[in-house]
Structure 1
Amino acid sequence: MRTAVRLGLAAAIVAALAGCTSGHQDSPVRAAGTPDLLAGCGPLTDRVIADQVHVPQVRPQTRPTVCTWTADLPSEDTVDLTYAWLRDDTLARDLQVANRFGYRTEKLVLMKFGGMYWRDPRDPGSCAVTTADSGTITWWVQNRSRAAEPDPCAAAMSLMRATLSVDGI
């Protein structure tokens, strides 16, 4: 039941972010030699994801273009990880969505990309980082215990840095 609720929430957030209900996924147009962000679940392997959030392993829960994983922390807490690459999305649209749902946001520049943190003021164990790169890329990290430690923003940023690094930036 908990997985169904999480997947439903992730789908609702992504639908709100994407503004699309047709279910049709366009394939990105790629230059030769660029990674296919939709192959598997983005450019990071499960091993790299586990390393970035300091856990032994993650278990894939869904597939592209929105992908989710769960990971068991040494503290016996579970963390949920969500990756979304939305081709036609913009940071301006994401900021509107965040404001509508009452999230706190903080603008940032990561490498050469504009971006933002999303924080749910009702859940200190939840944080996302979104950057603009051929649409938007988002990593959302949520400690199921709702505890602020381990830091979900640091984990989301670590995953984003690893993603942009693979993307050749």
Structure 2
Amino acid sequence: MARNRIRVGATMFAAIGVLAGGSGLIAGCSAATGGQAQTAPVEDNGLAGCGPLADAKIEKFAGVTRLHRQASPTICEWTAVSNTGGTVDITYGWLRKNSLMMDRQTAIDLGYTTENLVVKSFGGFYWRDPQDPGVCGVSAADSGTVSWWIHNRDHAAQPDPCAAAFQLMLGTVQLDG
């Protein structure tokens, strides 16, 4: 299987949504009724949007600089520069209707290895690409599933993408949990 992983985080979230029958994605929209626009209610959960972490915290926890947001809700992506000078893609998503079981099955179906973990009191797991040591994600159960993905574009194992994803998750659950 070809493994072009430049947009691995967004690809994983899209796969989760498709394999889960589309029920994992949250979205806002508007509809017209009687000539008046009606907007969807704003999500009051701190995990919604691009999550509870400010850009400065993302830089700190991931060990990167020059963070630049590429996209926003439901899946948020940033590019940054690692402390070794390489380009890093960072992806965050909160899928309200997902479960860890659904995420784990998606990981298995796509050929990732998984390893259980606990972040504070939240159960979760690592997603590792056995063919690319520069890719790692962490998913945890929290009102659905919360996931952080790190992708070192140079495919290097350093800086450690799993350590960075874990630190981002730890920061997220400290603010939310």
Q: 1:118 is matched with which residue: 115, 123, 127?
A: 127
Cα distance change of structure 1 residues 68 and 97 upon mapping to structure 2, 3 Å threshold: same
* 1:36 corresponding residue in structure 2: 46
Alignment partner of 1:104 is 2:118: no
Matched position secondary structure for 1:123? coil
Tell me which of the two structures has the higher relative contact order, counting C-alpha pairs closer than 8 angstroms and 6 or more residues apart: 2
CA distance in 1, matches of 2:96, 2:26: 12
CA contact (8 A) 1:115 1:132 kept: yes
CA distance in 2, matches of 1:74, 1:113: 29
CA contact (8 A) 2:59 2:67 kept: yes
Alignment partner of 1:143 is 2:145: no
Shift of 1:64: 1.1
Shift of 1:53: 1.6
Shift of 1:28: 7.8
Larger radius of gyration between Structure 1 and Structure 2: 2
Alignment partner of 1:13 is 2:12: yes
Q: How does 1:38-77 map to 2 (within 5 A)?
A: 38-39=48-49, 41-77=50-86
CA contact (8 A) 1:128 1:138 kept: yes
CA distance in 2, matches of 1:63, 1:44: 13
Normalised by the length of structure 2, the TM-score is 0.81
* 2:33 corresponding residue in structure 1: none
Shift of 1:15: 2.5
Which is worse superposed, 18-27 or 68-77? 18-27
CA distance in 1, matches of 2:53, 2:151: 19
CA contact (8 A) 1:130 1:138 kept: yes
Shift of 1:163: 0.5
Among all aligned residue pairs of Structure 1 and Structure 2, give the percentage whose two residues are the same amino acid: 45
Gap runs ≥5 in structure 2: 29-40
Count of matched residue positions in the alignment of Structure 1 and Structure 2: 158
More strand by share: 2
| AA of the residue aligned to 2:153 | R
CA contact (8 A) 1:28 1:87 kept: no
Shift of 1:75: 2.3
| AA of the residue aligned to 2:98 | D
Normalised by the length of structure 1, the TM-score is 0.84
Q: How does 1:151-166 map to 2 (within 5 A)?
A: 151-166=160-175
Shift of 1:23: 7.1
Cα distance change of structure 1 residues 13 and 42 upon mapping to structure 2, 3 Å threshold: same
CA contact (8 A) 1:117 1:130 kept: yes
CA RMSD of aligned residues (A): 2.3
